[in-house]
Chains A and B, each alone.
Chain A
Amino acid sequence: NAGVTQTPKFQVLKTGQSMTLQCAQDMNHEYMSWYRQDPGMGLRLIHYSVGAGITDQGEVPNGYNVSRSTTEDFPLRLLSAAPSQTSVYFCASSSSGTAPDTQYFGPGTRLTVL
């Protein structure tokens, strides 16, 4: 299994541009989430999904959209990038199986907004 994969690894945007960060998992996990990590801080939840077709907001959802059309994929869309969205973005997934709360993280996407 590849686990949780994220693309791209690095991205530079200009203010006002839009883009989609991709996240995919091959573990058949129902639960997927997006976090952002700012320097010297922990992770903050942006959006999450408990299954295909179901999404909800986290702590810091403004400026981001998500959708979940398949179990495997959970893309994060930046609608109009702002410098405040410069951060490292992590996608994570977990199952409702034997370890329902253990989250598996992708390697992250480092985003810079100029």
Chain B
Amino acid sequence: AQSVAQPEDQVNVAEGNPLTVKCTYSVSGNPYLFWYVQYPNRGLQFLLKYITGDNLVKGSYGFEAEFNKSQTSFHLKKPSALVSDSALYFCAVRFNTNAGKSTFGDGTTLTVKP
């Protein structure tokens, strides 16, 4: 079985400050890891993914994420937050097999204050 935990329901940061949204996972073998963002009344939008290789992956809108195999974590980061980054963020894990099922965390609401 695979699972994803996003330990913080809410993250608040000031504009211009760095932000981190945490994600830990449990899956046998080597996972594929994803971050998605959801704005109100919209579907999820893909931000970035880790497949293999460099542990630091870069994605859309200046976001990056660091894969840490020993801690089974995949935290989302951004050096300088914008008010427009305020949204709901989801971490997801998939088996690295053909047509592996995605399991999503319950999401973290990020609020960036001016």
Co-complex (A, B) = no
Chain B residues proximal to chain A, CB less than 8 Å: none
